[in-house]
A and B are shown apart, each in its own frame.
Chain A
Amino acid sequence: MQKKMAYSFPDEVLEQVFSFIQSDKDRNAVSLVCKSWDEIERWCRRKVFIGNCYAVSPRMVIRRFPEVRSIKLKGKPHFADFNLVPDGWGGYVLPWIAEMAGAYPWLEEIRLKRMVVTDESLELIAKSFKNFKVLVLFSCEGFSTDGLAAIAASCKNLRELDLRESEVDDLSGHWLAHFPETCTSLVSLNISCLRSDEVSFSALERLVGRCPNLRSLRLNRAVTLDKIANILRRAPQLVDFGTGYYAAELQPDVFSNLAGAFSSCKELKSLSGFWDVVPAYLPALYSICPRLTSLNLSYATIQSPDLIKLVSHCPRLQRLLVLDYVEDSGLEELASSCKDLQELRVFPSDPFGAEPNVSLTEQGLVAVSLGCPKLRSVLYFCRRMSNAALVTIAQNRPNLTRFRLCIIEPKTPDYLTLEPLDVGFGAIVEHCKDLRRLSLSGLLTDHVFEYSGTYGKKLEMLSVAFAGDSDLGLHHVLSGCESLRKLEIRDCPFGDKALLANAAKLETMRSLWMSSCAVSFGACKLLGQKMPKLNVEVIDETEPPDSRPESCPVDKLYIYRSVAGPRFDMPPFVWTMGEAVRILH
């Protein structure tokens, strides 16, 4: 019966149907229906997402999906953002580019996150893909402006060049001039991470002027305030704009020029940049504020009163990134003005100071949770918290999907009761049934993990630091969180038992990171031997782990599932555990 149905549609029809199916999950489901669907689907899959570049080899991907046009790869573990992954760990994209250069001549899009990209890779991209359109390098490193020049010069149909938060060796600002005069296809250009002062501004102006489809432009710090008006006038169609330095001596003509330029951008909905802000220039934005849906002021060192004034002009705001200079009072204003707010991120202005330098407490977050009914995503750095506040937040906002709280001092208890914050976070996981991402902080016992395991059924990513009492905590999470994909832990007393008892769980997850915990070298070896589908990597920069007794804890541990087997590009301080592999060095 089923066979008949499979053959009742010619392949081309099925292909056409499948072309409407964009999500990876759905595509994967389609390929599981039957062999012929799998076969048809794999030939028409155009987009591939690989969440861990070491989970599969380039050849395997190419073999299965021969006609890919768009690839997204992620490399280093998330904790690399906080300097926990030593330089040289891995995440090199060159092997991928080299294989794809031959196999995917029509590749159009490459999106990378936390990978090491060299100039050689960029040059290879420029040379190999004739129809290359999109390059997004998110938190990448290892390349210079020379590589960018190659991309600029060769990619005739380049639409997107986005270098967000990457580390670029800024050798020369003249790479921009390598975009040929014939290049008019740019839709998105993000050079905000470039640090040098010598961006070739005239080349930039000309480039912007000849790209009528440019929708998103994020400049780097070097571009001074007086230059913004010129750029904006050449691109009034911009939807997303990132300024450079937003500081200058207040001059009326500069101000009115700037205000006029902004007001001519009728589509502008998103602003960012704002390094070193002079508050007097903020009113230049007032004409576009009513349309703004996204505002990133997380580098702007302006104080609460100025922030309040600005935010009160933005009733449509959906996304706000800001420093804790906003203070509780600013967040209260936000709660009353911005009823469409969906995402809030508050960053610390003085993360290493011992004393609070601003009046930002749990009250601000409570106010926003009460006043903003659409709030889904929170990242909040503060210095004190209470269970009562967390319970209130949870009850106010059961629609939260991302909740990342960082109480700056590790192991800080509830400031009112001096108790652990288990109950508060427990309320968050219990009430927020769609919670997908959670970061814990403060004083926490095994109880918080018990709650997470019991209630966090949709939890996909969990970040834990300085928490828990025993292996029971880790066991609760690994055995209870059914949807868990990524778990990252640092400085917790979790050891061998929970890990070994839940070894099979690790095959259902993308990765597990544990650093400064209590997992012994012996347990790592055992895990590596018994679980061939996992790569168990021990990282130790001081000495090889086998130079100490097996019961000694390893410094850092990164476990991820892989069908590609152990990798061979590891630096001297990473060891892969395994039976067949021995202790690979």
Chain B
Amino acid sequence: MELQLGLSLPSTPIFPFKMLDLNSYGYELREGLGPFGINVNNNCGSCSSSCNSSSSGGADDGGGGTKTRRLLDEENRIVPKTLPLLFWTNQRPNDEDEPKDVDDHSSSAIFKNDGEGLVGWPPVKAWRKKVRRRVANVRAAVENSCGGRASSSTYVKVKMEGNAIARKIDISLHHSFESLTTTLMRMFDISDENGQKSFKLTYLDREGDWLLAEDVRWRNFIRSLKYIKLIRSRC
């Protein structure tokens, strides 16, 4: 794949709309090192190591023609639209270019969100999602269809006393106070021993009352839970 990095963009379209040929871009072949002395190759690992090396390399444009020389020529340099840290070579971008472990990470990039698949997709505001679910519930109930989603949001806001930042957890992932507290301790960076003793788990229930979680059964807790707050216990 050949690509030109010019200092200024061409004024006429490079690609007339009808011409769609991957192989004939009409761009200059650009080879050699750029001002940062960096060479691009396939292996991302060595790419980063060469990136860390000194960038004092001069304008060594081994194989380029006059146009490449112009890019590197200090006197002719206009304010560059692109000041590259890398230059393109004529490598064809293909699968080898991808970091080898992209597959390992792509699966972790797709998180399950309330069992609905991708996080943040489709891009509907959370605000609308809530309404939508209620609407779906209403419709499902009205139409008596069993395909409607009946689950309401399982994300609950958690605040820690003394900490202005609220977090959210998916309560459906927990089935006991133990697992909930472990997650909360980790989330707010509270070390085990002292932490568990110095904080109490409280929650706001549907009726607007703040209650101690330790006083109720897990099942009741889940059903009436609206917000969670960790408060410092004074004993």
Contacts and interface: CB of A to CB of B under 8 A. Distances in A.
A binds B: yes
Interface of A: 79, 81-84, 87-88, 92, 118, 142, 165, 193, 275-276, 298-299, 301, 347-352, 381, 406, 408, 410, 423, 426-427, 430, 439, 447, 450-451, 454-455, 463, 465, 469-472, 475, 478-480, 482, 490-491, 493, 495-497, 500-505, 515-516, 518, 520, 522-523, 526-527, 530, 542, 549-553, 555, 571-572
A518 B102 contact: yes
A299 B129 CA distance: 10
A546 to B, nearest CB: 13
Interface in B6-65: 9, 13-15, 17, 20, 40, 44-45, 47-48, 51-52
A513 to B, nearest CB: 11
B211 to A, nearest CB: 16
24 contacts: A81-B125, A83-B119, A83-B120, A299-B131, A348-B132, A349-B135, A427-B17, A450-B15, A472-B93, A479-B82, A497-B40, A497-B86, A497-B88, A501-B87, A502-B82, A516-B109, A522-B51, A530-B85, A550-B45, A551-B47, A551-B48, A551-B99, A553-B99, A553-B101
B165 A520 contact: no
B7 to A, nearest CB: 11
A301 B138 contact: yes
Contacts of A350: 132, 136
B149 to A, nearest CB: 7
B166 A87 contact: yes
B73 interface: no
Contacts of A406: 122-123
Given A505-B82, A553-B102, A118 B164 contact: yes
B88 to A, nearest CB: 6
A503 B5 CA distance: 13
Contacts, number: 185
Contacts of A430: 17
B189 interface: yes
Most A CB atoms within 10 A — which of B47, B85, B93, B128? B85
Contacts of B52: 522, 526
Given A349-B132, A351-B129, A454-B13, A553 B165 contact: no
A476 to B, nearest CB: 9
A87 B51 CA distance: 34
Given A504-B81, A520-B99, A551-B99, A472 B116 contact: no
A518 B99 contact: yes
B167 interface: yes
A480 B25 CA distance: 15
Contacts of B44: 495-496, 520, 551
Interface string B70-92: 00000000001111111110000
B106 interface: yes
Contacts of A351: 122, 124, 129, 132
A552 B109 CA distance: 13
A478 B9 CA distance: 11
Given A142-B166, A482-B9, A571-B165, A83 B85 contact: no
A79 B167 contact: no
A352 B119 CA distance: 11
A214 B164 CA distance: 35
A556 to B, nearest CB: 9
Closest 10 CB pairs of A and B: A522-B48, A82-B120, A504-B83, A470-B93, A516-B109, A500-B85, A88-B165, A501-B84, A84-B120, A352-B116
B52 to A, nearest CB: 7
A469 B86 CA distance: 20
Nearest to A469: B93
A469 B22 CA distance: 13
B155 to A, nearest CB: 9
A552 B81 contact: no
Contacts of B197: none
Given A497-B86, A553-B99, A470 B48 contact: no
A79 B120 contact: yes
Given A501-B5, A504-B82, A523-B48, 7 more contacts: A423-B20, A471-B93, A475-B3, A501-B82, A503-B82, A522-B51, A555-B105
A509 to B, nearest CB: 12
Contacts of B105: 552-553, 555
Interface string B137-175: 011000000000100000000000000111110000000
B199 to A, nearest CB: 18
B184 to A, nearest CB: 14
B109 A491 contact: yes
Contact of A84 (B85, B87, B119, B138): B119
B214 interface: no
A495 B120 contact: no
A518 B101 CA distance: 10
Contact of A82 (B47, B125, B168): B125
B57 to A, nearest CB: 14
B77 to A, nearest CB: 12
A6 to B, nearest CB: 27
B47 A496 contact: yes
Most B CB atoms within 10 A — which of A81, A348, A515? A81
A142 B167 CA distance: 11
Contacts of B51: 500, 522-523, 526
B21 to A, nearest CB: 11
B15 to A, nearest CB: 6
Contact of B97 (A118, A347, A470): A470
Contacts of B97: 470-471, 495, 497
B94 A490 contact: no
Given A480-B9, A551-B99, A87 B165 contact: yes
A518 B123 contact: no
A113 to B, nearest CB: 13
B190 interface: no
Contact of B15 (A118, A410, A451): A451
Contacts of A497: 40, 86, 88, 93, 97
Contacts of B20: 423, 447
B126 interface: yes
A315 B206 CA distance: 45
A470 B42 CA distance: 13
Given A83-B119, A551-B48, A454 B14 contact: yes
Nearest to A503: B85
A502 B9 CA distance: 13
A472 B167 CA distance: 38
B196 interface: no
Contacts of B189: 572
B87 A87 contact: no
A495 B94 contact: no
Contacts of A84: 119-120
Most A CB atoms within 10 A — which of B106, B123, B189? B123
Contact of A352 (B45, B109, B117, B168): B117
A552 B99 contact: yes
